[in-house]
Structure 1
Amino acid sequence: MTDVQAAPPAEEDFERPVPAERAPRKTAPIVPAQNIAGRALVVVIAIMTFLSCVTFGAVTLVRDTASVWENQISREATIQIKPADGIDMEIALATAAGIASEFDGVKGTRIVDRAATVRLLEPWLGSGFDIGQLPVPRLVIVTINEDSPPDFAAMRTAIATAVPSATLDDHRTWVDRLVAMAHTTVTIGIAVLALMLSATVMTVVFATRGAMAGNGHIIEVLHFVGAEASFIARQFRNRFLFTGMKGAAAGGVAAIAVFVAFSWWSSRNMATPQGDQAAALFGNFAIGSAGYLGVLMMVVVIGALTAATSHATVVAYLSDLEAGQADV
C-alpha cells in the first residue's frame, strides 16, 4: 500500500490577519471650547446685552407713555374762569361753554361742577371746606376733534371778550414739552446703546487677541504651511459666535424677566399711591410685542457683532503677520 502524500495547503488557504482600522485622530480646536477667558467673555456679553435691552425697553416705555400723554392732552382744551367782583360764576361758565361749542372742531363741552372741583382740591385743602368762601377758579373742559381742531386764537378772543376773567389753555406748551422730552429720551437711549455696543466690540477685540496670543504658535504654523486666512478666521468666528449668542441670550432673558416682574408688580399695586405714580410715569411697564421683538433683535445683533468683530480682528492680525514676514 503506497503512502499518498498530502499536497501542501495553498497560500490562499491561510487567513491573513486583517489590520484593525486605525481610529481617526481627534484634532484639537484652534480656539479652546472652554477656558477662563471664554467664560468671562460670556458674562461680560450677558451684562452688556442686559443693559442694552433694559435701555431699549426703557426708551420704548417712555416713548409710548409720552405718546399717550400727547394724545390725551391734544383731545382736550381747558377754559379757566377766575372769580372776580360782580361776576356770577355759574353764568360765566355757561357763557364760556356756549361760545366754545359754537366753533367747528369742538365735539362738546363739560363744566366741572362744584363737587368735582372740591374733589380736585381735597388732596391739598382736605375735606369739608366751603368752596364758595375761597377764590377758586372754575373749569370748562372742551373736547377737541383731533383730525380737525378749532381755531384756538379766535376762540380765545371770543371767550375773553364775553368773559374777561376767562382764559383758554389749548395745552400746546405741554404737548411741545412732551414731544421734546420724548425726542431727548430717544436720543439719549440711542447714545447709551451705541456706547454699550462699542464697549462690547472692544471687549471682543481684546478677547480675540488674547485667544490668538495663547495659540499664536499654532496659528503661525497653520498660516505658514498654507492655511488660508479665511479658514483660521472662520474658526475664531464660529467660536465667538457661539460665545456671543450664549451671553446675549442670557442677558436678553434676564432683561425680559425684569420687565415681566415690573409689569406684575404694577398690576398688583394698582389703585395705590405708588402704583398710580408709577403708572402715570411709565404706564403698566408693558413694552408690548414691539419691545420684546426689539430685545430679540438686540440678542441677534450682539451675537452677530461678536462674530464679525472676531473675524475682522483675526484677518487684521494675519495681514500684519504677512506684512512683517515680507519685510524680513
Structure 2
Amino acid sequence: MTSRVPPPPPGGPGALLPPDSGRDRPLFVVAAILVFLACIAALGARGAWLQAQRWTSGLESSITIQIRPVEGRDAQLDADEAANIALTLPGIVAATAHDRAHAEALLAPWLGTGNLPADLPLPLMVEVRLDPAQPAPGEGLQAALDAAGLTATVDDNSRWAGAVRRAARTAQTLGLSMMLLLAGAAAAVVAFAARASLAARINVIDALHICGAEDRFVAGLFERRFFMLGLKAGIAGAVCAGLVAIAASLGQGPADMAFFLPHWAMDPFELALLLLAPLLAGVTAAVSARLAVAADLRGRW
C-alpha cells in the first residue's frame, strides 16, 4: 500500500483541524498582549531616538555664556556687553542677554518661587545661536570675553549632547532587547499551545496517519491554523499599540519620562511597523507551531 497525502476535505484544510474557541481564546489574548508590548517597545525606542535628535540638534546649534556677578560691576550690563561681543564674531547669528528674572525662573524648579533674597548675586545667562553653515567660534569667543575684562564662562553644550546620545542608545538597546524577548516568549507560548492542540486531537491525527498523511501534511494543518490565529492577534495588538502611542504623544507627559513613552511621529516608519507586526506575529506563530508539531510527530511514529 503506497503512502499518499489525503485530498483536502470539502470544507478546506480547516475542516480536519477545526478551531476551538475555548482553547484558542486564551492564546489569542496572550499573543495580542505580546504583540502590543513589542510594538510599544519598538515605538518607544523610535521615540527616544527622535527625541534625542531634537535635543542634540538644539544643543549643538547653541552655546551659553555665563556671566558671574562681581562686586563693583553691573552683571546685567556685562551680559549685554557679552551679547554684543558675541555678535561680532563669525558663525553667530543671534545673542540674547537674559536678566535676573530668567535666572530665578531657572532655579524655581529646585528652590521654589520667591525664596531667594533680592541681594543674593546670581549668574546671568547669554544665549547664543550658531549658524549651522559656518564653524563654531570655539575658543575665540572666550578669548574675546576675556579681552573685554568680563568674568564669563562659555559652555558649548557638547557634554550635554553626548549624554543625550548615550541615553538614546540605551533606550534603543532596551527596546530592541525587549522586542527579542517578547518574540521568544511568543514562540514558546505558541509551541506549547500547538503541542496541547496536537494532544487533544491525537485521534484525528492517528486516523490521518493511517490514511497515508505524512508528517509534513499534518504539520501544515497546524501551521495554517496558528498563522491565522497569530495574524488576528497581531492586528489586535498593533491597533492597541497605535492608539496608546497616539494618546501618549498627544498627552502632556513629564519631560523626564520622554525616553520611556511610545511616540507617534506621524511618519511612514510607525505605520510600516504597525502593519508589519501582525504579519511577523503570524509567521512566528506558524513556524513555532510547525516545528513543535513536527518534532512531536517524529517522536510518535
TM range (shorter): 0.7 to 0.9
- Counterpart residue number, 1:140: 126
Give the aligned residue type for 1:315.
A
Q: Structure 2 residue aligned with 1:79, among 58, 65, 85?
A: 65
Which residue of 2 is the match for residue 248 of structure 1? 234
Kindly indicate whether the alpha-carbon contact (under 8 Å) linking 2:66 and 2:124 is maintained by their aligned counterparts in 1.
Answer: yes
Q: Which runs of 5+ in 2 are unaligned?
A: 1-8
**Residue of structure 1 equivalent to 2:218:** 232
Q: Tell me the TM-score normalised to structure 1 length.
A: 0.77
Asked whether 1:281 is paired with 2:258, we answer yes
Work out which of the residue numbers 7, 25, 32 in structure 1 matches 2:18.
32
Deviation of 1:171 after TM superposition, in Å, equals: 0.8
Range with bigger deviation, 244-253 or 82-91: 82-91
Stretches of structure 1 lacking an aligned partner (at least 5 in a row):
1-23, 267-274
Query: 1:84·1:165 contact (CA, 8 Å) conserved in 2?
Result: yes
CA distance in 2, matches of 1:122, 1:196: 42
Aligned to 1:104: 90
> Number of matched residues?
289
**Alignment correspondent of 1:126:** 113
Cα distance between partner residues in 2 of 1:319 and 1:159:
81
**What's the CA shift for 1:74?**
1.6
Q: Helix, strand or coil: the match of 2:96?
A: strand
Residue equivalent to 2:159: 173
Q: What are the Cα deviations for residues 254-296 of structure 1, in whole angstroms up to 9, with x where unaligned?
A: 22232333345x2xxxxxxxx3735983699534232233122
- Among residues 136, 139, 143, which one is paired with 1:150 in the alignment? 136
SS in 2 for 1:109: strand
Q: Does 1:301 align with 2:301?
A: no
Q: Residues 162-212 of structure 1, C-alpha deviation per residue, up to 9 Å, x if partnerless?
A: 345210111111110000000000000111111111000000111111111
Q: Is the 8 A contact 1:52 1:193 kept in 2?
A: yes
Q: Does the 8 A contact of 2:97 with 2:127 survive in 1?
A: yes
Query: How far is 1:310 from its partner?
Result: 1.3
1:288 aligns to what SS in structure 2? coil
Query: How far apart are the structure 1 equivalents of 2:149 and 2:170?
Result: 39
Q: Deviations over 1:142-164 (max 9, x none)?
A: 10123433142333344344345
SS at match of 2:231: helix
- How much identity, in percent, do the aligned residues show? 29
Measured after TM superposition, the shift of residue 82 of structure 1 is 0.5
1:310 is aligned to 289
| Structure-2 separation of matches of 1:277 and 1:221 | 61
